[in-house]
Amino acid sequence: MTVDRPIGNASSKREAEKIRRLVERALDNVGDPEMPAVSLSELGMVHEIRIVEADRSFRVEIDLLPTFVGCPALELMRREVERTVRPIPGVVQVEVRFVSHPRWTTDRIRPSARPKLEAYGIAPPPCLTVRSPAPAPDEAPPPNGAPAPAEATVAVGASVEWNPRCPYCGSEDTILENPFGPTSCRSIFYCRSCLNPFEAMKPLGVPVVLQRRP
Amino acid sequence: MERFASPEAIVNRPDARSALVELLFQLADDDLFVAHRASEWLGLAPHIEEDVAFSSIAQNTMGHALYWYTLLEPLTGKNADDLAYLRPREAYRQAILVERPNGPGLFYENPSYDWAYAVVRGLAYETFKRIRLEALASSSYVPLAEAALKMRDEQFYHLYHWETWWTELSQSTDEARRRLTEAARSVFHDLPTLWDLGPKAETIVRLGLGPSAEEIERKTLKALEAEFRRVALSFPPLGSPAFTGREGQHTDEGWAAIQMMGEVYRMAPEAAW
């Protein structure tokens, strides 16, 4: 979502619009510090960009959504976003805030990020459609453009077992080794087909249950 | 019920503000201690996969503590590090259960920690935490409600972890069952310290800042009873501890942990990290 504060005349409005596009493009190129294959935008972490006029130049305020509350990479991300946005001509100040509302869930990850994660060796989180008994006619649009094609549909209140596809061989014969991995947002699985361990992004805020070993 | 959308909406209301500060210190100090006790296990856990898991839980939980302290900043005028490390002993609000040491010894000197105690305390605390976070999602203090929802998603994995250990150990050997039973007796002695709301309980509940102790007690016991029934272990009696920690009374071991956590910070609070 992008919000521009009321800005004086037509030419500064055009200027602000230009800056907004440049900021968006810049953010598309800020990779996640732990998963550089995908950008913060693709992960759905950019909540709001505000362009505020200040003395014939512009201040940029960016609200980011942390994936995990205690993710130690947040400070790195803040610095990287500031470093990338500040050189944009006309920008005098960049302010990056982490906000907890709306909360980040794995539904916010853009469809374009999914094959990139897989190619990087990380299975993307399950993409589920929750089927409500009476779908609201005017549901809010998804936060990041078109939703990813759903892999499965679940009824409200129900859940499905998390069973990611192996990013190396594509098999679905995979077992959960450890819900915890090298970063907060990743778990470790084992592929019984190609016999490789692999990582998978933890589903957050979606109705899944974890495999229990027999 | 009145809702408080921001710190500004509550900071000039002395009764509401002091009750909220009390509640946030309970949340922050509980998570600080759970994270610290977990971090003391690093390198000592039963296997390397468990080191990965337990330290990851510790990191997430320390993140939750930091977030609660950050919510306290505009209400107290102090920064999160000072709030975590520079308060006097009687200003801490963690429950006695979470400040208990992991076992005899120190992590750097003859540790003789009890894994069964870690498992049962983990199960009990995370069960309680899930119920508390779910209730806090409808807190009248909006920033707290939003944080609770966010943490609940993450905490799902913490609870799953301890449920897995609980299930597997209880289905293994007689020794495992005996040690789980002994650990459960210790944990249940301190269990009621979790849901005590301290001296501002009445205001916390009346203003809808948080759920009542009775509600949390009832739901936590029901969930834990189901866990014990599932693995056919007998439900231990609850203790009646002389103090809960919520009133500011703490064990020497709890205070020693605070001293240790803040040791470096207190040397130079102005240092930039």
Q: What is the pLDDT of residues B169-215, one digit of tens each?
A: 999 999 999 999 999 999 999 999 999 999 999 999 999 999 999 99
Picking from A68, A180, A202, the nearest residue to B52 by CB comes out as A180
User: Residue A173 sits in which domain range?
Assistant: 121-133+145-209
Residues A94 and A174 in one domain: no
Considering the domain boundaries, does residue A104 fall inside one?
Answer: no
Residues A94 and A7 in one domain: yes
Task: Quote the pLDDT of residue A153.
Answer: 74
Assess whether pLDDT exceeds 60 at residue B218: yes
Residues A15 and A93 in one domain: yes
Chain A residues with CB under 8 Å of B3 CB are none
Note the pLDDT tens digit of each residue in B261-271: 999 988 888 88
Considering the domain boundaries, does residue A108 fall inside one?
Answer: no
Picking from A70, A188, A205, the nearest residue to B60 by CB comes out as A70
Task: Quote the pLDDT of residue A160.
Answer: 84
Asked if A10 contacts A22 with a C-beta cutoff of 8 angstroms, the reply is: no
Name the minimum distance, in Å, from the CA of A78 to any CA of chain B. Answer: 16
Residues A83 and A161 in one domain: no
- Asked if A22 is an interface residue toward chain B (Cβ–Cβ < 8 A), one would say no
Assess whether pLDDT exceeds 60 at residue B62: yes
Task: Quote the pLDDT of residue A137.
Answer: 47
Considering the domain boundaries, does residue A106 fall inside one?
Answer: no
Note the pLDDT tens digit of each residue in A109-165: 999 999 999 999 999 998 877 766 544 445 555 555 555 556 667 777 788 889 999
Residues A156 and A196 in one domain: yes
- ipTM for the assembly: 0.89
Task: Quote the pLDDT of residue A13.
Answer: 87
Q: Which of A197, A198, A199, A180 lies closest to B38 in space, CA to CA?
A: A180
Instruction: Give the CA radius of gyration of chain A.
Output: 20
Count of structural domains, chain A: 2
Note the pLDDT tens digit of each residue in A18-51: 999 999 999 999 999 989 999 999 999 999 999 9
Q: Which of B136, B156, B155, B132 lies closest to B146 in space, CA to CA?
A: B136
Assess whether pLDDT exceeds 50 at residue B126: yes
Task: Quote the pLDDT of residue A146.
Answer: 52
Residues A13 and A93 in one domain: yes
Residues A17 and A62 in one domain: yes
Query: Residue A27 sits in a domain of what CATH number?
Result: 3.30.300.130
Considering the domain boundaries, does residue A116 fall inside one?
Answer: no
Residues A52 and A125 in one domain: no
Residues A90 and A176 in one domain: no
Strand A174-178 versus strand A186-191 pairing type: antiparallel
Alpha-carbon distance values, B70 to A170, A201, B27, B80, B143 (Å): 43, 27, 12, 5, 11
Other C-beta atoms closer than 10 Å to the C-beta of A114 total 19
Note the pLDDT tens digit of each residue in B66-100: 999 999 999 999 999 999 999 999 999 999 999 99
User: Per the omega criterion (within 30 degrees of 0), is the bond before A102 cis?
Assistant: yes
Task: Quote the pLDDT of residue B260.
Answer: 93
Name the percent of chain A lying above pLDDT 70. Answer: 84
**Binding-site residues on chain B for chain A (CB distance < 8 A):** 49, 52-53, 56-57, 59-64, 66-67, 143, 146-147, 149-151, 153-154, 157, 160-161, 164, 167-168
Residue where the block lists tokens 């150990």: B169
Residues A156 and A84 in one domain: no
Chain B residues with CB under 8 Å of A104 CB are 150
Task: Quote the pLDDT of residue B181.
Answer: 98
Task: Quote the pLDDT of residue A190.
Answer: 97
Considering the domain boundaries, does residue A21 fall inside one?
Answer: yes
A186: β partners: A201
Residue where the block lists tokens 């521009």: A4
Confidence of residue A194 (pLDDT cuts 50, 70, 90): very high
Q: Which long-range contacts (CB under 8 A, 24 or more apart) does B2-9 make?
A: B2/B140, B2/B207, B2/B208, B3/B140, B3/B141, B3/B142, B4/B140, B4/B141, B4/B142, B5/B142, B6/B142, B6/B143, B7/B74, B7/B75, B7/B143
Asked if B241 contacts B190 with a C-beta cutoff of 8 angstroms, the reply is: yes
Note the pLDDT tens digit of each residue in B32-42: 999 999 999 99
Q: Give the CA-trace dihedral at A171, A176, A179, A182, to 10 degrees.
A: -60
Considering the domain boundaries, does residue A157 fall inside one?
Answer: yes
Considering the domain boundaries, does residue A41 fall inside one?
Answer: yes
Residues A8 and A91 in one domain: yes
Asked if B40 contacts B105 with a C-beta cutoff of 8 angstroms, the reply is: no
Residues A70 and A126 in one domain: no
Considering the domain boundaries, does residue A39 fall inside one?
Answer: yes
Instruction: Give the CA radius of gyration of chain B.
Output: 18
Domains and CATH numbers, chain B: 10-267 (1.20.1260.10)
CB contact under 8 A, B146 and A184: no
Note the pLDDT tens digit of each residue in A49-103: 999 998 888 999 999 999 999 998 999 999 999 999 999 999 999 999 999 899 9
CB contact under 8 A, A70 and B146: no
Task: Quote the pLDDT of residue A140.
Answer: 52
